[in-house]
Amino acid sequence: MLRQKRWTRANYTTPILKGAAALFPPTDFTSGKKTAVAKDVRGAERQVIEKQPMCIRMKDESPFMFAGLFSVWKDSEGKEFPSYTIITTIPNELVGEIHDRMPVILHKKNFEEWLDRNIKDTVSLKKLLLPYSAKEMQAYRVSTVVSSSRNDVPECIEPLEKK
């Protein structure tokens, strides 16, 4: 699963907002890969599903841009609540081994088109919401430290040793 809480980590810079469309600049994202392991459960060995956190990023470790939407909601008293969402799509070959969806990562050439408030053709915009090339990305195991949004430490993205 994609952890929206982790997207508030210090490795993010200010989102780029223009109307309802937005770009969010991470350097990585995490998702849990489900694996079956044999465990002792009340004296009997059972197959248990565990999630191994995986860090997913560009091979060259460069930042990238998620496609998103931004809005400010007002309650009945006029208090504003900014909110955003990261748009997801079907996974590429790499992320598909980990999860059944992935965030939309836009190519630099598509930033202006995504943010252009004058484009009303949703069909052309939907064509931007494709899986990013797996050839440019990497995924590796990381510590379960990343599973808590309270942890903003280097261990969140450091690769685990292969055992």
Beta bridge partners of 23: 16, 67
Instruction: Give the pLDDT of residue 100.
Output: 96
Instruction: Give the pLDDT of residue 99.
Output: 95
User: pTM surpassing 0.85?
Assistant: no
Instruction: Give the pLDDT of residue 18.
Output: 54
d(CA 88, CA 69): 11
The encoded tokens of residue 134 equal: 């797996």
Instruction: Give the pLDDT of residue 162.
Output: 57
d(CA 47, CA 38): 5
Instruction: Give the pLDDT of residue 19.
Output: 61
d(CA 24, CA 65): 5
Question: Token pair 């990381």 is at which residue?
Answer: 142
Instruction: Give the pLDDT of residue 7.
Output: 39
The pLDDT tens digits along the chain (163 residues) read 333 434 333 333 445 555 689 999 999 999 999 988 888 888 889 888 889 999 999 999 999 999 999 888 888 888 888 888 999 999 999 999 999 999 999 999 999 999 998 888 888 999 999 999 999 999 999 998 888 888 888 888 899 875 4
Instruction: Give the pLDDT of residue 20.
Output: 86
Instruction: Give the pLDDT of residue 15.
Output: 54
Contacts of 114 (CB under 8 A, 6+ apart): 21, 23, 67, 106, 125, 128
Q: H/E element holding 10?
A: none
